[in-house]
């Protein structure tokens, strides 16, 4: 919302400086977004009078002028404008001036050998408009030497404020003035609007016809003014509209725009001669069209409210008028409309049709209902003043709603909610100056909000009014006691796990990414998602259309993008949400990562001590186990199964599970999936669903279990087993461990061999077993006996034989 300082002064007699007003506006909730002071920007430009204008000796299109600026000798200026002529009052810029349109500094120069000591300016050069037909032509009485901005009425700073959606009343300058007056920066000037005495009955009627449907127009007032002479508005009105970025059109239209910005009272004017029959306010019929004042034709539907005559739709109610019945310079009889509209309906219609008009903006935020008729009167006065004519009597359809409501306001409420000590006088004073009717006596006042403050619902709103006008800086900063929970752990298990997974993965050399929560439909489908319920209705781009079922598509795409930038060996992870469904319980917290190229946990790329190998499924397995361990998962109990989901390589992937609970998957990504995502491998990945890790058992004590060290030497024995190639190493280890659960305290695989020298269907798995006696040192005989049991148990469980 823009307005000029002089416009503000129509409503406010300031007792503070301009700068104080600007500062205070922000502090009472009308945030100043900018102050534009053309007078400052245009200060170097003065009125000059062209004394002589001769053809340039060396150029047909140039003129050599002498210009007076009221002091000193006439100045010689070479000018290319066709309208540079003797006697013209125009704008002169001296050397040293920075020309706003080009940003260049004017210098004394020679143009085709003739010296030029300044410039005569067009509106475009001063950044005032796009017109460049020639240099500006100022009125003949413009005082030579005077600042140009002053002469043209631009010495009036323009203030732009951001008006929050609740403060529709400040979408008119009068409302801004009221707030400033309440805050003590001046006196509000609010003369009553004098009712208009109509001299004849209005020659047309209006009816509100909504039948059984909900009415969209509570009240509609109109008046006809006959015999107007429409034409350009007076300069003051044009200046104001231009200053706030509006284009003056003609007096009748300008009056409606002025009322919109002056009083937050949008109006519409029809040319009576272009209206056929009477007006009816109704819902549009499906398929009806309107050629609106913006030159576009809109197709309407039954949800929209229109003003129609016998011919059809003439205006889109509260949003934009129609071209056919609009007022132009030939208009002699005008219908002035002031109406109230259903705010939500206006918003919906405007959104549906994509029209953002000043009228829509105000009606959807709420105009002052009580000002419907006074607004019509004020507009009629302006029409009469600017265009003459005879006013008719007013026609009013519907009724202006009475918005009066009483709020019980305990005076203590201000301190209760804000901590601010304010006296009863202060509180009453603020409310009174803002137009609230205050009655009753302490401790509880009765407050009736003014008709223009539809946003005020209850006592909290009144508290806001009081503190914002008295000043938020008066609210004392008050220490909040630490509270009972200050020493308690505040993070949930899942929050802690997210942190631990994150730090443990980063400590393994992985870099944390944050990728979009949405991926392409194709990517979602590749990773088990893509359900309709999780597809955005209004995605911002087709590759950001579906809620992700996994963190992997985002990470894999990111690996591809990094590879394209030359970083092929990347290890990325993310800790974040994945979506199984659209319910509040369907979101899971995942920790997933990928490694591409040679980004091994021990470092990637080439190195003098040995180049890093390509990443493999075991890197991903190690990552997953590290994160799971950091999260406190019982890693010793995890089983590894070979049933990872379809986006993994079927033979090089696995699932880490606790019984039926699959807590993580790891492995190479399926080559077809990589191809579909347009990323090349090698690329391995893991996914952990942190929610699936069992809750830790509550512990009564932080004491660690007793450290039980045996005084007797442990013994290590090696076994080389020949087994079928399909036998899982885990089964061999489990069998060896199971041969003597007490004595066998460690099992490990130290060699794996397939190929020459052994049966092609077999592999050799070399296992180291640790035997830890507890009661005495083992004899050779005892060791042999245990070794025999280990071999027998492994043979029984896996079909293994000892390698010869």
Partner 1 sequence: MSATPSATDPSALEDLQESLSSAILRAQDEAGLEEVRIAALGKKGSVSELLKSLGGMSPDERKVMGPAINGLRDAVQGLLSHRRAALKSAALEARLATERVDVTLPVRDAAAETGRVHPIAQVTEELVAIFADMGFSVAEGPDIEDDFHNFTALNFPAGHPAREMHDTFFLPPGADGERKVLRTHTSPVQVRTMQAKKPPIRVICPGRTYRCDSDQTHTPMFHQVEGLVIDKGAHLGHLKWVLEEFCKSFFEVEGVKMRFRPSFFPFTEPSMEVDIQCDRSRPGEIRFGEGSDWLEILGCGMVHPNVLRNCGIDPDEYQGFAWGMGIDRIAMLKYGMSDLRAFFEADVRWLSHYGFRPLDFPTLAGGLSA
Site string for partner 1, 519-538 (x = CB under 8 A): -------------xxxxxxx
Helix axes 729-739, 780-798, angle to 10 degrees: 140
Q: CA dihedral in degrees (103, 104, 106, 107; nearest 10)?
A: 170
Q: What are phi and psi of 769, to 5 degrees?
A: -115, 135
Residue 28 C-beta: closest distance to partner 1, Å = 6
Residue 472 C-beta: closest distance to partner 1, Å = 4
Residues 356-395 that bind partner 1 (CB under 8 A): 364-365
Residue 351 C-beta: closest distance to partner 1, Å = 7
417 forms part of the interface with partner 1 (CB under 8 A): yes
479 forms part of the interface with partner 1 (CB under 8 A): yes
DSSP states along 675-712:
HHTT--S-EEEEEEEGGGSPPPPP-S--PPPP----SS
DSSP helix/strand/coil, 224: strand
Using CA atoms, how far residue 203 sits from 187, 225, 307, 393, in Å, is 42, 10, 17, 9
CA geometry: angle 363, 367, 371, nearest 5 deg: 135
DSSP helix/strand/coil, 594: strand
Residues 580-599 that bind partner 1 (CB under 8 A): 582-587
Nearer to partner 1, 168 or 727 (CB): 168
Nearer to partner 1, 508 or 762 (CB): 508
Residue pair 163/175 in contact (Cβ under 8 Å)? The answer is no
Residue pair 249/347 in contact (Cβ under 8 Å)? The answer is no
Residues 295-324 that bind partner 1 (CB under 8 A): none
Nearer to partner 1, 68 or 345 (CB): 345
Residues in contact with partner 1, total (CB under 8 A)?
Answer: 104
484 forms part of the interface with partner 1 (CB under 8 A): yes
* Longest alpha-carbon distance in the chain: 130
Residue 21 C-beta: closest distance to partner 1, Å = 15
Residue pair 683/598 in contact (Cβ under 8 Å)? The answer is no
622 forms part of the interface with partner 1 (CB under 8 A): no
Q: Which stretch binds partner 1 (CB under 8 A): 277-285, 289-297, 385-393, 453-461?
A: 453-461
477 forms part of the interface with partner 1 (CB under 8 A): yes
19 forms part of the interface with partner 1 (CB under 8 A): no
193 forms part of the interface with partner 1 (CB under 8 A): no
Site string for partner 1, 128-167 (x = CB under 8 A): ------------------------------------xxxx
Q: Which stretch binds partner 1 (CB under 8 A): 71-79, 341-349, 426-434, 692-700?
A: 341-349
Residue 95 C-beta: closest distance to partner 1, Å = 31
Q: Which stretch binds partner 1 (CB under 8 A): 396-404, 485-493, 647-655, 769-777?
A: 485-493
Closest CA to 656 of 627, 699, 676: 627
Give per-residue burial for 147-183: e unless 16+ CB within 10 Å, then b: bbbbbbbbbbbbbebebeebbbbbbbbbbbbbbbbbb
CA distance 302 to 67: 64
Residue 64 C-beta: closest distance to partner 1, Å = 45
Residues 167-186 that bind partner 1 (CB under 8 A): 167
Residue of 445, 552, 575, 733 interacting with partner 1 (CB under 8 A):
575
Residue 260 C-beta: closest distance to partner 1, Å = 17
Residues 548-567 that bind partner 1 (CB under 8 A): 554-555, 558, 561-562, 565, 567
Nearer to partner 1, 134 or 554 (CB): 554
First to last CA, the chain: 93
Residue of 351, 352, 774, 796 interacting with partner 1 (CB under 8 A):
351
Helix axes 173-182, 251-263, angle to 10 degrees: 30
Residue pair 221/339 in contact (Cβ under 8 Å)? The answer is yes
Nearer to partner 1, 494 or 795 (CB): 494
614 forms part of the interface with partner 1 (CB under 8 A): no
Nearer to partner 1, 267 or 556 (CB): 556
Say which residues have a Cβ less than 8 Å from residue 700's Cβ, sequence separation at least 6.
none
Residue of 15, 17, 26, 129 interacting with partner 1 (CB under 8 A):
26
Residues 625-644 that bind partner 1 (CB under 8 A): none
Using CA atoms, how far residue 578 sits from 592, 593, 648, in Å, is 11, 14, 18
Residue pair 593/570 in contact (Cβ under 8 Å)? The answer is no
493 forms part of the interface with partner 1 (CB under 8 A): no
Residues 500-519 that bind partner 1 (CB under 8 A): 502-518
């Amino acid at each position: 919302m823009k307005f000029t300082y002089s416009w503000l002064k129509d409503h406010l007699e300031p007792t503070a400086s301009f700068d104080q007003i600007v500062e205070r506006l922000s502090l009472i909730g009308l945030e100043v977004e900018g102050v534009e002071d053309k007078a400052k920007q245009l200060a170097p430009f003065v009125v000059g009078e062209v004394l002589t204008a001769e053809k340039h000796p060396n150029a047909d299109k140039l003129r050599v002028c002498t210009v007076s600026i009221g002091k000193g000798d006439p100045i010689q200026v070479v000018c290319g404008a066709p309208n540079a002529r003797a006697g013209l009052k125009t704008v002169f810029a001296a050397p040293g001036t920075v020309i706003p349109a080009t940003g260049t500094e004017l210098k004394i120069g020679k143009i085709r050998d003739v010296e030029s000591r300044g410039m005569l300016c067009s509106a475009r050069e001063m950044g005032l408009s796009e017109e460049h037909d020639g240099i500006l032509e100022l009125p003949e009485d413009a005082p030579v030497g005077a600042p140009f901005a002053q002469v043209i009425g631009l010495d009036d700073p323009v203030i732009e404020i951001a008006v929050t959606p609740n403060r529709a009343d400040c979408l008119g300058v009068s409302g801004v003035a009221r707030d400033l007056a309440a805050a003590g920066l001046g006196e509000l000037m609010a003369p009553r609007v004098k009712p208009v005495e109509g001299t004849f009955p209005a020659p047309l009627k209006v009816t509100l016809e909504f039948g059984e449907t909900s009415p969209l127009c509570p009240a509609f007032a109109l008046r006809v003014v006959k015999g107007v002479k429409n034409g350009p508005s007076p300069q003051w009105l044009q200046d104001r509209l231009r200053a706030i970025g509006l284009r003056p059109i003609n007096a009748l239209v300008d009056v409606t725009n002025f009322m919109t910005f002056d009083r937050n009272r949008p109006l519409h004017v029809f040319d009576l001669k272009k209206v056929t029959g009477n007006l009816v306010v109704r819902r549009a019929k499906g398929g009806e069209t309107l050629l609106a004042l913006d030159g576009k034709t809109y197709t309407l539907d039954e949800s929209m409210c229109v003003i129609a005559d016998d011919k059809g739709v003439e205006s889109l109610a509260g949003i934009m008028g129609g071209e056919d019945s609009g007022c132009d310079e030939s208009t002699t009889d005008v219908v002035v409309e002031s109406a109230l509209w259903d705010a939500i309906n206006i918003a919906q219609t405007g959104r549906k049709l994509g029209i953002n008009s000043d009228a829509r903006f105000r009606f959807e935020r709420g105009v002052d209902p009580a000002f419907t008729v006074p607004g019509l009167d004020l507009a009629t006065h302006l029409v009469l003043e600017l265009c003459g004519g005879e006013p008719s009597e007013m026609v009013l359809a519907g009724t202006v709603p009475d918005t009066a409501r009483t709020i019980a306001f305990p005076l203590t409420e201000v301190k209760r909610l804000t901590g601010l000590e304010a006296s009863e006088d202060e509180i009453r004073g603020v409310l009174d100056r803002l137009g609230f009717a205050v009655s009753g006596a302490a401790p509880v006042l009765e407050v009736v909000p003014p008709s223009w403050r539809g946003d005020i619902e209850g006592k909290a709103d009144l508290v806001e009014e009081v503190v914002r006008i008295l000043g938020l800086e008066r609210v004392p900063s008050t220490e909040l006691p630490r509270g009972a929970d200050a020493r308690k752990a505040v993070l949930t298990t899942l929050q802690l796990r997210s942190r631990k997974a994150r730090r443990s993965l980063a400590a393994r050399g992985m870099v944390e990414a944050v990728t979009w929560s949405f991926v392409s439909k194709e990517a979602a489908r590749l990773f088990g998602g893509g359900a309709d319920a999780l597809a955005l209705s209004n995605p911002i781009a087709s590759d950001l259309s579906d809620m992700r079922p996994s963190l992997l598509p985002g990470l894999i795409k990111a690996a591809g993008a990094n590879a394209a930038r030359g970083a092929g060996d990347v290890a990325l992870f993310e800790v974040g949400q994945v979506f199984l469904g659209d319910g509040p319980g369907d979101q899971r917290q995942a920790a997933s990562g990928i490694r591409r190229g040679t980004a091994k946990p021990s470092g990637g790329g080439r190195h003098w001590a040995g180049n890093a190998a390509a990443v493999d499924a075991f890197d991903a397995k190690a990552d997953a186990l590290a994160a799971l361990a950091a999260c406190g998962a019982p890693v010793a109990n995890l089983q590894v199964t070979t049933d990872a989901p379809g986006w993994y390589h079927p033979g090089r992937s696995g699932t880490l599970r606790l019984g039926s609970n699959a807590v993580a998957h790891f492995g190479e990504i399926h080559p077809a999936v990589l191809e579909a995502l347009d990323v090349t491998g090698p690329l391995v990945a893991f996914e952990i669903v942190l929610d699936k890790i069992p809750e830790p058992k509550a512990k009564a004590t932080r004491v660690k279990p007793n450290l039980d060290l045996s005084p007797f030497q442990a013994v290590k024995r090696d076994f080389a087993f020949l087994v079928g190639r399909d036998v899982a190493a885990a089964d061999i280890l489990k069998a060896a461990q199971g041969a003597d659960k007490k004595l066998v305290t460690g099992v490990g695989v130290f060699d794996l061999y397939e190929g020459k020298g052994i049966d092609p269907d077999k592999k050799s798995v070399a296992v180291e077993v640790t035997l830890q006696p507890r009661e005495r040192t083992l004899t050779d005989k005892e060791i042999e006996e245990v070794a025999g049991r280990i071999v027998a148990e492994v043979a029984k469980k896996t079909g293994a034989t000892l390698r010869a």
